[in-house]
Amino acid sequence: MADYAFTTLWQIPAPVAPIWTAITEVERWPQWWRGVEAVVPLRAGDAHGVGAVYRYTWKSRLPYRLIFEMETTRVEPLRRIEGRAHGELEGTGCWTFDEVEGITIVRYDWQVVTTKAWMNLLAPLARPLFAWNHDVVMAWGLAGLLRLLAAAPPEQKVSSFRPGE
């Protein structure tokens, strides 16, 4: 097996809440994240999503697909999501979110091994190409997320007025 460790950073000029919602609503990813062909729920999690399992099908710039299942292992609302992958990729992924002065910094750490024989055979030569491909897919995710956030209605402040106050 070939092992890979990737870290992706996104700086998004938006509050953390709508970004968190977009990332945690994984079944909607195919609507806005190019490369995500399908997300199929296999098991529901608890109230925060811990224990949920989804099967992902990804298609990248390179002519192959990857299918794996991801189980959510830890959730700290609006701060952190961790999961464990099984299938054609095995390992761990961790999303972290931090909002500073209206900018949300999203970090994704992905530490996996490939289980496809051809990928492992080609890894010594193709590792830079696989890393480039990962970066392309993550750039597609950022672009799609920015489009999704721009299309969302702005947050409305609700005020109430009571006669006599």
| Domains located in the chain, CATH noted | 3-149 (3.30.530.20)
CA distances from 85 to 46, 82, 98, 110, 123 (A): 18, 10, 24, 10, 19
Rounded to a whole number, what is the distance in angstroms from the first to the last CA of the chain?
69
Nearest to 108, CA basis, from 128, 130, 91, 124? 91
Torsion of CA 78, 41, 22, 132, to 10 degrees: 100
What lies within 8 Å, CB to CB, of 102 at 6+ separation is 13, 14, 15
Check residue 135 and give its pLDDT. 95
pLDDT tens by residue, 36-91 = 999 999 999 999 999 999 999 999 998 889 999 999 999 999 999 999 999 999 99
Q: What pTM value is reported for the model?
A: 0.87
> Is a pLDDT exceeding 80 seen at residue 154?
no
Beta carbons within 10 angstroms of residue 163's beta carbon = 4
Q: Does residue 21 or residue 160 have the better pLDDT?
A: 21
8 A C-beta contact, residue 78 and residue 49: no
